[in-house]
A and B are shown apart, each in its own frame.
Chain A
Amino acid sequence: MPDTLAPVVASEPSNVTGYRSFRLGKFELSRDAYFVAVRWPAKGAKRSHQMPADAFLRACMRDVAWNFFYGWVNFDSVIGTRNHYGKVDFYAGTFNGALKEAGVDYLEQFDSGHIMATFKAILRDWVNEGFDPFAAPVETGTAFGPKQGDNIAAIERTRIATQRMPGLPGDSPLRDDMPVNRAFADVAQDEPEIHAEPGFEGQLHAFSLFKYLSRSDVTWNPSVTAVCKASLACPTTEEFILPVFHGNDRVEWFVQLSDEIVWDVGDKNTGAPRARVTMKAGDVAAMPADIRHQGYSTKRSMLYVWENVTPGLPQRYESGELSPYPVDF
């Protein structure tokens, strides 16, 4: 990281919509009442792409909250980011088979601090009062229309950092003070019984993970709940659509704890469809290291995302040292 970040480049608010426009390197990003537009140079001309504003803001919010996550965060089939852990690519068309082949794609790499600052500035300006990009659509107001206020509290949530397990002394808190989500009103709220012998008080620990998840106020935003060396349990609650098409730079695993999620799986580099994976309660499946995936959950569901944060994995997969498939049988 440089000592000083490049400044965020923003215009004055539009006289028409009230929104600012932003520059990120040679990219130009703007929004109006309904759409976000991204423009970039390619083949001697200016190219452009549009997304619905709500979809862009939900994706951008995840990218910020996840600190650019593991690998690729495709906002849609055209634009997205790739995390190099310290540097981040922002691209348009680079991982879209047709646009890449036509040569109208563009990629630019930034210090992660600069692109993070730009994305945060975009969210602060483009998220209106009443719209929560983390919330399920039925639980939030509209993202559309001219600029109207802001929602700073909603967009400044961060992932919960857990060292070992929530509820342990000095570790991340449980969610006893948060309400049960409407979609999990039938989930039992009892906690495990802990009976410690004299002298061992505080040395045994357990909690209700399902109660904890039932009280999550966000969707598609994993929180770490168990740390076994470099193995992280990151369960989350899911409703509607995963706002990004996550491209894997390592294998990750899903365990469907409740209800059902359908996953569209595509080729990581081109987006070409590869499979639809329907996961029901108790199902376990790997997301290989050479794919991108996007999930759909009609009923709010509990998903146990399992990650491996062993250093150097992206390079080991990219070099071919590791197979993209976790088990050979």
Chain B
Amino acid sequence: MSQVHTVFGSITDYTKGSIELVSGEARHYVFSNMFEVAAKSKPYERVVVAKNMEYVQEVMRAEGSSPWFACGHDEFALCMDGEVTVDFIKLKAPPDPAKNGAVLAGDAPAGARMGHVKLKRGHQVLLGAGNAYRFTATRTGVLMQQTVLGDLSVEKWSEICYGPWP
């Protein structure tokens, strides 16, 4: 067998796919590329790339340190490129569990430091309900976060997706 080469994209090296239409419109597929999205986004702007009713996948350009975020429900971040450290704080006053999506937790959230997790490409971390978290990228990377549409979610579909025709 020839040598295996698994292709993963990165913020500096990606190729966007395509749509060949027979009928309908390309925008119905809401087609984007997360590396392209991250390359054109501000650091830690939470850009929605997939939306299923209230549920979303957000893509973030991981560059430098993020604000402290917190959420009333579990979220999950998948590192798709780069190296990212995630610091955690057990909040004294966690967000309301009924509140959907992430919120800003302030510059110095009150609570005990829980520790940190170091992520590389392909690593998934649990962002547990009620904990504050902050990302720090040692080199620019890309995170995809499974969460719920919230105050910080940014929707700019016409900028990131194919329009009526590719």
Number of chain B residues whose Cβ lies closer than 8 Å to a Cβ of chain A? 70
**Separation in Å of the B165 CB from the closest CB of chain A?**
11
**Separation in Å of the A267 CB from the closest CB of chain B?**
8
B35 within 8 A of A: yes
B 108-151 contacts with A by CB, 8 A: 112-126, 128, 142, 144, 146-148
- In the complex, the answer to whether A286 meets B30 with C-beta atoms within 8 Å is yes
- In the complex, the answer to whether B114 meets A182 with C-beta atoms within 8 Å is no
How far, in angstroms, from A257 to B73 measured CA to CA in the complex? 25
How far, in angstroms, from A28 to B89 measured CA to CA in the complex? 62
B19 within 8 A of A: yes
How far, in angstroms, from A210 to B81 measured CA to CA in the complex? 12
- In the complex, the answer to whether B24 meets A274 with C-beta atoms within 8 Å is yes
- In the complex, the answer to whether A286 meets B28 with C-beta atoms within 8 Å is yes
How far, in angstroms, from A111 to B163 measured CA to CA in the complex? 43
A288 within 8 A of B: yes
Contacts of A326 in B (CB 8 A): 30, 50-53
- In the complex, the answer to whether A288 meets B74 with C-beta atoms within 8 Å is no
B49 within 8 A of A: yes
Contacts of A308 in B (CB 8 A): 52-53, 55
- In the complex, the answer to whether A204 meets B28 with C-beta atoms within 8 Å is no
| Chain A residues touching B, majority SS | mixed
In this complex, what residue of B is CB-closest to A166?
A: B124
- State whether A281 and B21 are in contact (beta carbons under 8 Å apart), knowing that A206-B123, A233-B76, A329-B161 are contacts in the complex: no
B107 within 8 A of A: no
Contacts of A211 in B (CB 8 A): 122
B14, B18, B73, B119 — which one has the most chain A CB atoms within 10 A of its CB? B18
Number of chain A residues whose Cβ lies closer than 8 Å to a Cβ of chain B? 74
- In the complex, the answer to whether B123 meets A196 with C-beta atoms within 8 Å is no
**Separation in Å of the A290 CB from the closest CB of chain B?**
9
- In the complex, the answer to whether A182 meets B50 with C-beta atoms within 8 Å is no
- In the complex, the answer to whether A283 meets B33 with C-beta atoms within 8 Å is yes
When each residue 189-205 of chain A gets 1 if its CB lies under 8 Å from chain B and 0 otherwise, what string results? 01111111101100111
- In the complex, the answer to whether A231 meets B52 with C-beta atoms within 8 Å is yes
B61 within 8 A of A: no
When each residue 70-89 of chain B gets 1 if its CB lies under 8 Å from chain A and 0 otherwise, what string results? 00011110101000000010
- In the complex, the answer to whether A200 meets B90 with C-beta atoms within 8 Å is yes
- In the complex, the answer to whether A225 meets B124 with C-beta atoms within 8 Å is yes
Other A-B contacts than A187-B122, A225-B124, A284-B57, 19 sampled, CB-CB below 8 A, are A165-B126, A184-B6, A190-B120, A195-B115, A203-B90, A205-B125, A206-B117, A206-B119, A210-B8, A210-B122, A255-B34, A272-B22, A273-B22, A274-B22, A275-B29, A281-B8, A283-B32, A285-B31, A288-B28
- B residues in contact (CB < 8 Å) with A: 1, 3-9, 14-24, 26-36, 49-53, 55, 57, 73-76, 78, 80, 88, 90, 112-126, 128, 142, 144, 146-148, 155, 157-158, 161
| Sample of 9 A–B contacts (CB below 8 Å) | A196-B114, A209-B123, A210-B121, A255-B34, A275-B23, A275-B26, A283-B17, A284-B32, A284-B57
Top 6 nearest A-B pairs by Cβ distance?
A210-B122, A282-B9, A329-B157, A231-B55, A281-B9, A206-B125
- A residues in contact (CB < 8 Å) with B: 164-165, 168, 182-188, 190-197, 199-200, 203-211, 225-231, 233, 251-253, 255-260, 272-288, 299, 304, 306, 308, 310, 322, 324-327, 329
